[in-house]
Structure 1
Amino acid sequence: MYETLTYSGGVHKNEEIKELIDDLGGFILQENILQMDLILNMAVPIEDVDKIKEKSKELLGEISVAPMAGTELAIVSPTLARHHLPHAACDISEYLRRFGAKDNMIGLARGAGKGVSGITEYEKRLIEEHDIAIYALGSFKQCIMDKTFLFDDIDVPVIVTGAPEIDLDDLPGADAYVSGLGRIPRRLKRGKNIRALRKLVEVVEDILDQKRRDMSLDPPLTPSILVKNAIENQVPAISEIISPTPVTSQLDGVRVKLDYDKYHEEIGEVMISDKPLKEIADIKKSHMYDYILIKLLSESAIV
């Protein structure tokens, strides 16, 4: 079993903690360098967590539990225009990243008002490539209730956020609703806003935990973090990708930021233990920039 952690510290001697993670049989899930600061999401064996904490203390860094590390979330807004997107959706995205999540902002094509708002099949399929979809909606109860068609047939857990209190029974298709996060023309820095963001984190963690429990009943043959590590080690083209997190972990798979038509056969031949990846996973073209989306098959589905 692995524990997901976040290391925050300086870039000085950062290779020491990276080498320790590798020596312990752990994995680096995501690495971000901001000027002279390093943010490192990792997965390490539970029995070795204390060793990571000791090294972090030695390097004057900080270690925190990252319960969302190794997941990919979709933050969905009715549009990308300023009428909907800032500031709540951006602050939700930024706040969730503090807990290890990799999230993508998705703005729907038609969301300027109740009369014309809509969602296409392409947008639905894109949203469903994620572990959880978080819909950042508005400040009016009736408006939110009238827009349930945006998520009532999405095939991943859906969390809806908005300003008013709404009974979950009034939002068919939603797995949870978090109030206090409507359209606000400023940063979410006040006490009630922070409390709402903390509540959202609790809800996301609960849903992820439930998904993990459900997967444990019929798990994939190998964890997604092992697949991520194998692809990074066996596919040379990964080192040439300049986008952040070129191989992004999900609960039940990974997203590889390589062109599907050019690289999917090579990805399929990556060896996981004694099997090629194509035998233990579905490898398909992502709706995001024609990347490669890998969904691991459960043990019972592998012949």
Structure 2
Amino acid sequence: MYATMTYTGGVHKHYEMEELIEDLGGFILQKNKAQVDISITIAVPEEDIDKIQQKAKELLGDVEISPLASTEIAVIAPTLAHQHLPHASCDIAEYLRRYGTKTNMIGLARGAGKGISQISKREKDIAEEHDLAVFTLGSFSDCIRTKKFLFEDLDIPVIVTGSPTDLTAEELSCEAYVPGFGRIPYRLKRGENIRALRNLAETAEDLIKKQRELLEEDPLIVSPVIVKIMLEREIPEIAEIVAPMPIVSQLDGVRVKLPYDEYHEKIANVEVEGYRLGDVADIKQSKVFDGSTLIKIYPESSII
């Protein structure tokens, strides 16, 4: 099993960390440079965590476990109006990124109001392309209860946030409810806000951990991390993508920011650990980004 970690330190001699990761049979999932600092999200064998920690100490950097790395989370607000964005929803999305995940913000076309709120089929499909969804709702218990139809039949785990403390996950038909948010017209910087954000991150970690445990019972034929690396090696056009994170890793697949119509056959023919990728994964048009390709890897039980 691989452990996902984030190394932060100076640009000077960071290549020594990259060389160690390669020597240990690990992978670099993401690398961000900011002037003289660098942040590297990595995946290494669990038995080699101490070696990474020792090298980080030698380079005067920091390394910590990133339990949400190689996941993609949707942060969904009822609307794009000012009462729902950009305060609480943006801060939630940004805070979760600190734990290694990739977040996408979604505003429903008609989510506001108890009488007219709704979620379309396309919006559901977009949400279900993620590993987890966080619905950022409002300040009134009755309103939140009324809107549970927005997420109760989604085929992914759902966390609901709101201001009331008298709600439960059971009555909302979701995996978890985290209070302490709601319609907040300011940045989440106060003590109670930080505690609520930390609670939300821990709840997300627990749900992702449960999903990983389920995957261990019926493992994927090939690892999404390996698929990501092989795609980068075999398809040179990926290196030319100017968008951030050309390939996004998920629990059971990857999203590639290449047009499906033009590249799906080339992607399908990539060889991963002795398999043709098209034979061990469902390759389809992504609805999250126009011109992207979604790859969902089959579990071992699908092999006949």
Q: TM-score, normalised by structure 1?
A: 0.96
In the other structure, the counterpart of 1:292 is: 293
| 1: CA distance, partners of 2:114 / 2:291 | 31
Indicate the RMSD between aligned Cα atoms, in angstroms.
1.3
Equivalent residues of 1:31, 1:245 under 8 A apart:
no
In the other structure, the counterpart of 2:105 is: 105
Equivalent residues of 1:137, 1:144 under 8 A apart:
yes
Equivalent residues of 2:253, 2:295 under 8 A apart:
yes
| 2: CA distance, partners of 1:53 / 1:60 | 11
Structure 1 position 244, deviation (Å) = 1.6
Structure 1 position 300, deviation (Å) = 1.2
Equivalent residues of 1:256, 1:293 under 8 A apart:
yes
In the other structure, the counterpart of 2:233 is: 233
| 1: CA distance, partners of 2:239 / 2:245 | 11
The alignment covers a number of residue pairs equal to 302
Equivalent residues of 2:80, 2:107 under 8 A apart:
yes
**What amino acid is aligned across from residue 302 of structure 1 in structure 2?**
I
In the other structure, the counterpart of 1:115 is: 115
Structure 1 position 33, deviation (Å) = 2.1
Moved more, 275-284 or 20-29: 20-29
In the other structure, the counterpart of 2:162 is: 162
Query: Deviation per CA, 1:154-178, whole angstroms, max 9, x where unpaired?
Result: 1100100001111223212x11100
1:72-87 equivalences in 2 (<5 Å)? 72-87=72-87
| 1: CA distance, partners of 2:219 / 2:170 | 31
Structure 1 position 28, deviation (Å) = 1.1
Equivalent residues of 1:164, 1:179 under 8 A apart:
yes
Q: TM-score, normalised by structure 2?
A: 0.96
Seq. identity, %: 56
| 2: CA distance, partners of 1:241 / 1:36 | 24
Equivalent residues of 2:168, 2:176 under 8 A apart:
no
| 2: CA distance, partners of 1:51 / 1:212 | 24
Query: Deviation per CA, 1:125-156, whole angstroms, max 9, x where unpaired?
Result: 00000000010111111111111111011110
In the other structure, the counterpart of 1:261 is: 261
Structure 1 position 254, deviation (Å) = 0.5
In the other structure, the counterpart of 2:2 is: 2
Alignment partner of 1:149 is 2:149: yes
Equivalent residues of 1:68, 1:101 under 8 A apart:
yes
Secondary structure, aligned partner of 1:186: coil
